[in-house]
Structure 1
Amino acid sequence: MGRESSSREAGFDLGWPQWKNIPQRYKLIGTTSLAFVICNMDKVNLSVAIIPMSHQFGWNSSVAGLVQFFWGYALSQLPGGWLSKIFGGRKVIEIGVLAWSLATELVPVLAGFMPGLLLSRILVGIGEGVSPSAATDLIARSIPLEERSRAVSFVFGGLSVGSVTGYLVAPTLIQNFGWESVFYIFGLLGIWWRRPTFRCR
């Protein structure tokens, strides 16, 4: 009690920095970078899970390659920029994260039905493909010119962090909980991500 009161007298709380005290632009950059961490975690998870999945479903190398190909990613980048100009990068990222996260959650459910599995991968690719253009638009709209280069580096640096994290975490999850757990857990991260994002409003 005494420690808490003395902390307040000094001008800060023990829980500092509180979310509400963080400048809005920093919240946006932080949550967008986190979205890109999750983005690449979801991008690499199948490259780790493909081995036990191929054994379970009897896929040959051609089928495994077809499943792993990131359908929809390249095709959605140009529309992502166009949609961001109309609706704003923030809204496009929110929808993109929700789309790829739900599609990731569906992979274990649809793994035994190839057309459905390919459709889920297409949705993952589309959701992730619109995100780079949307992030660039969000930064241009929300961040002062003198801070934009640092903001871009921080946001897109999340992609590298996500790749490393995905490759480190996925094998452990598969070994302990089965290959399905990678898609369920990584997908839930994207759904959870929307909570702090909405608090940026």
Structure 2
Amino acid sequence: MSPDDNDGVAVRHPYRWVVLLLCWGAFTMTAVDRSTWGPASVAVGEDLGVALAGLGVFATGYYVGYVISNACGGFLTDWLGGRVVIASTLFVAGGFMVLFGETDSVALGIAFQAGVGVFAGCDYSAGVKLISRWFPAEDRGFAMGVFMTATSLGTVIANAIVPGLIEASGWRTSYHVFGVASMVVAVLCFFLLRNGSAPRTADRRELPGLAPLVRNRDLFLLGLAGFGGLWGTYGFITWSNALMVKGSHVSPVQAGVVVVIFGVAAVVAKPLIGVVSDLIGGRRKR
């Protein structure tokens, strides 16, 4: 099975929708795993004896690992292929979620959160490569728009489900449930995903030259803008539940509803912004 025709050009193979669904499902699960901390943080802190100000250490542990995996995920994808990277890293990330749900130690908890982060960031580059491989250029914008809704949908799912799970059976259950769900999706990806044949123009693989990237002003400014956007987005996701519950005495379920509204708005906005950008002639800078 290959996305190419006889000339090595991507065609609209029906299997591309399976690829998009599985990549989106894997990306959604890592987003759910990441977003679980927000609504669960207060309960975790109370159970492990961690003050509100100290809860950020767990999130820091996760994001240190996440930065590492984002930096290395592209190289791993080129080396091992998108299918193996998505399936293996999501499975291990789910395992660390289950382990975090079992821990009674702050130190081990931070280490397990870092473990989730290390393996949760590789699916982005792997998903992008698979989607680019199976979708022709004229369809990739829509496919990527659907793919990117996963991060916001993960926030919606976590904040809609975790507060109820905590009230019913404690915070550990939410980590067990989403950890196992991640592992199940990983197994599906392993058996159902296909990389497709490599482009015939790629005769050899070389490390990219980093010097031109460092000197690229547009890339630097784009990275700075992305840093600011993610600072606000993930800062809100990480801290809003705890601050609403502890600072404003909002119930955990009500705090979750607020973040669900935030996530739903983002799910709508991400593909909409892409459509608007195309309609005004691709003036993405504006």
Structure 1 residue runs without a partner (length 5+): 1-21
Instruction: Kindly provide the CA deviation profile for residues 162-187 of structure 1, in whole angstroms up to 9, marking residues without a partner as x.
Output: 11111111101111111111000011
Partner of 2:176: 184
How do 1:37-52 residues align onto structure 2 when only pairs under 5 Å count?
Answer: 37-52=28-43
1:85 maps to 2:78: yes
Give the 4+ runs in structure 1 shifted more than 4 A. none
**Aligned partners of 1:103 and 1:186: how far apart in 2?**
11
Which residue of 18, 29, 37 maps to 1:27? Answer: 18
Deviation at 1:36, TM superposition (A): 1.6
Q: Alignment partner for residue 49 of structure 2, among 31, 55, 58?
A: 58
1:162 paired to 2:154 = yes
Determine if the alignment matches structure 1 residue 99 to structure 2 residue 97: no
Supply the RMSD in Å over aligned alpha carbons: 1.6
| 1:152 equivalent in structure 2 | 144
- Aligned length in residues: 179
Structure 2 CA distance, aligned partners of 1:93 and 1:200? 9
Gaps of 5+ in 2: 1-12, 195-286
More helix by share: 1
Aligned residue in 2 for 1:18: none
Rounded Cα–Cα distance in structure 2 between residues aligned with 1:24 and 1:119: 39
Does the C-alpha gap of structure 1 residues 89 and 34 become closer, same or farther in structure 2, counting only changes over 3 Å?
same
The 1-side partners of 2:85 and 2:96 are apart by: 16
The alpha-carbon distance between structure 1 residues 196 and 130, as it changes in their structure 2 partners (threshold 3 A), is closer
User: Which residue number in structure 2 is paired with residue 141 of structure 1?
Assistant: 133
TM-score by length of 2: 0.59
Percent identity of paired positions between Structure 1 and Structure 2: 25
The TM-score normalised by the length of structure 1 is: 0.83
**How far 1:88 moved relative to its partner?**
1.4
Kept after mapping to 2: 8 A contact 1:71/1:121: no
What's the counterpart of residue 17 of structure 1?
none
Taking CA–CA contacts closer than 8 Å with sequence separation of 6 or more, which of the two structures ends up with the larger relative contact order?
A: 1
> Cα deviation per residue 1:140-197 (whole Å; 9 max; x = unaligned)?
2222222211111111111111111111111011111111110000111111113432
